[in-house]
Each structure stands twice: as structure tokens, then as C-alpha cells.
Amino acid sequence: MTSAPSLVVPNLDSLALAGKRVLVRVDFNCPQDESAAISDDTRIRAALPTIRELLSKSAQPILLSHLGRPKGKVVESMRLAPMGARLQELLGSPVVILKESTGPAVVAAIAAAPKGSVILLENVRFHDGDEKGDAALAAQWAALGDVFVNDAFGAAHRDHASVCGIARILPSAAGRLMEKEITAFGRVLEKPDRPLVAILGGAKVSDKLQVVDHLLDKVDALLVGGGMAYTFLAAQGRAVGKSLVQKDQLDAVRAAMKKAEARKVEILLPEDHVCAEAFDENAKAIEVGAEIPDGLMGLDIGPKSRERYSGRILSALTVVWNGPMGVFEWPAFRAGTEAVGRAVAACPGYTVVGGGDSVAAVEMLKLGPSIRHISTGGGASLELLETGTLPGIQALQRA
Ligand code: AMP
């Protein structure tokens, strides 16, 4: 049997920082409106503890980030200048914003930067070598610093030059945000307080089956909702009407249910539903029991399921939630996600929410302050639940 991957990484305390040029991979990939103004600066705020700590330890932070998908070309609308300006406002100290991330002008600007300033390099994805994990590009970046800090949890599932490549060259550590994320998922995946309950939802079962498989080795119960639940119900021979079912996944779902049985992990599936005749925001919501009649599709879990799921969540000592229970964007099909969100928030145990849509639901319901950890990385948190590690974590663990 192979042992589970370790989630122990070196942190900022392991690096000598005073007087050092510290390359910091951050995730400043903030949503922007049509006029390029930042509409949500959470990701910049999340990087502040690391940046402030480096400044307080007399280090020179040199930040690298991606923004959008410029595909290896300079795209004016994807420059990092707005993020640099916002960072300067939040820090209250100077940020030197560069228009390139490599080359002699960058070397000169770093040498000339005033003491106590932060340097922000240009969008790393203007180089196509970043996404390709090009070692020569990583070496060019590594030459700009003495040590490397990865604080970009949201990009840690990418084996890119600016995420993993530099870590393979320089002495490296996790920044405070990265450390917080890894610690939170470690509390779920390694020696959790039990019972450990995972809640999985979202549209497609194919996107989540590997997560299901990995979590079945860890959890006491798995609560399934959202579109993915209907493939499970169809695999059990239930009537699902015209709900979202991925027929090509039926065998894989049956294999997962068999594994759950062998491991004595309970998989809870919805026992009633909120349905509609069409996939339409204004469709009439129709509550049905366990069997969904022909002509209807399940768009949310029903009241009995909400109650049962909430009870399980409230009595858990560790909870991890990824994916909505229904089409929560539409008010008529939101009650399931809302009930689960409120139960997670009320659970006295350790609670972690990951994944873009469940985080959006938590924010919409203003439940954030009652949840112990809300992940800043949608794709990264899902992949961490799927494999137990991430390329960005492994790169920090090299000897
Ligand atoms: P994912 O990106 O896989 O986590 O899926 C999130 C999306 O799944 C959200 O936009 C939901 O509206 C959608 N979703 C949740 N439940 C259902 C359902 N029963 N049928 C169709 N889509 C759903």
C-alpha cells in the first residue's frame, strides 16, 4: 500500500530573510469589470500577511502573478498595474510596478528599488514558457532573487514555471496564505476529528468522481447533492425523469458505491427533490418524493433531504464542502444549498469550504464569518481533495 502524500511544507520561519531578495508567487488574478477596475480584491488582501511579514523582516519582496489567459502574448488589458495600485493602497507603502517580468530593465529596476518597497513584476503568462513549466524561464526568474516563497494557493495545482519551476531552483517555503490553506486541508485529510463528513455537489459527476474515490478512503459519510446526484440515483435504478444524468459514468458510480459499502462509508443521496419542467430560472418549482416523474428534472434537494443532510452536518466534528446542492443561482432552487450552508456554519466542528460555487453561495448567504476555513482556490482545493497533494506543494517539499 502506498502511503498518503504528506502535507508538511517548510514555512517562512525556515528561511533566512533579512536583506534577501524574496521572489513571491502570489495570485492576483482578481475579477475586473469592463473598465478594468478590480471588482473583488480578496486575493490581494489574502497575500498581505506574507508581504507585510517580509517587509518587517527587512526582506525585499519581488512579486510574480498571472492574470487571465494571455496565452504567451502581451495583452494590454491583462497588465498587473491595477493590482499593483490596489496593493500600494492596502499596504500604505510603495509598490514599484514593472512592465516586464524578465530582462535587463527588470534587473536594473530591482537593483534601484528603494529600501522597503515592494516590486511587482508583469503578468507571468505574457511568457508562454510559464504555463509550459519551462525550466529556462524559471531560471531567469530565479536569478532575480535569493529565495522563493509560494503564496499562490489558487495556482498551486499548476506545474508552471512561476509556481513549481522556481521552487526547484531556490531555497523555498510556503507563504502564510499557502500555509493556512495546507493546514486547513491537512486537518481534513490527515487525522481529522471524527465523524468526518464530506458534502459534494455541483453539475457533473464526471468532474467529481476522483474526489469521491479519494474521499471514500477518508470520510465517515459522503452527502451528495446537485446535478451529480442524479447519476448516482439512476445507477440505483431510481426514476430521475429528465434530470442531468451522465450515462457513460453509471459504471464508475456503481464502482464508487461498491467501494463505499466495502469501507462502511455511508453515501447519502437525496430522497426528495425540487423539480421543474425546464432548465429555466422562471420555471415553476415542483416538490416531488424519491421518484422523479417523466417530464421533470431535479434542480435542488427537497425538504426531507435538507433536514437529513443538516442533521448529519451538525453532528460532525469535521466537515468539508465542495459544490452546491442545486441551481443555487436561481432563488426557487436555492433552499438545499442554503440549508447545507447554514448547517455548515452552525456546525461546532472544524469546517472547510472549497470550490468557487460553494464559496459564492457562502458569500451570498453571508455565512463566511461562521466557517473556519474558506479556501481561496477553487480548482486547487478540488485537486487537493482528489489527490491529497498538489504540484506546488510537492515542489516545496523537495529535499
Ligand atoms: P460545478 O462547477 O461542477 O461545481 O457545478 C456548479 C453548478 O452546478 C452551478 O452553477 C449549479 O447551478 C449547477 N447545478 C447544481 N445542481 C444542478 C442540477 N440539479 N442540475 C443542473 N445543474 C445543477
pLDDT digit string (tens) for 330-367?
A: 999 999 999 999 999 999 999 999 977 899 999 999 99
pLDDT at residue 1 greater than cutoff 70: no
Q: Whose CA is nearest to atom 5 of ligand 1?
A: 202
Q: How far is the CA of 157 from the centre of ligand 1 (A)?
A: 22
- 220-279 residue pLDDT tens: 999 999 999 999 999 999 999 999 999 999 999 999 999 999 999 999 999 999 999 999
Report pTM: 0.94
Q: Is 379 a known active-site residue?
A: yes
- 80-112 residue pLDDT tens: 999 999 999 999 999 999 999 999 999 999 999
Which triple of cell numbers denotes residue 61?
Answer: 519582496
Distance CA 23, CA 227 (A): 42
* Pocket probe mutation, ligand 1, options 231, 327, 329, 381, max atoms within 8 Å of Cβ: 327
Contact (Cβ atoms closer than 8 angstroms) between residue 345 and residue 370: yes
Which triple of cell numbers denotes residue 13?
Answer: 520561519
**Element spanning 223, H or E:** strand 221-224
Residues 6+ apart with CB under 8 A from 304: 271, 272
Computed from CA positions of residues 32, 36, 42, 48, in that sequence, does the dihedral angle turn out positive or negative?
Answer: positive
Q: Is 43 a known active-site residue?
A: yes
Q: Give 3-state DSSP helix, strand, coil % of the chain, rounded to 5.
A: 45, 15, 40
Per-residue CA distances from 302 to 236, 245, 252, 258, 324 (Å): 19, 18, 26, 26, 14
Q: Look up cell 534577501; give the residue.
A: 20
Burial of 333 (0-12, 13-18, 19+ CB in 10 A): buried
Tell me which residue of 277, 276, 304 sits closest to 290, measured CA to CA.
Answer: 304
Residues with CB under 6 A from ligand 1: 202-204, 207, 226-227, 244, 298-299, 323-324, 326-327, 329, 355, 357
Q: Whose CA is nearest to atom 11 of ligand 1?
A: 327
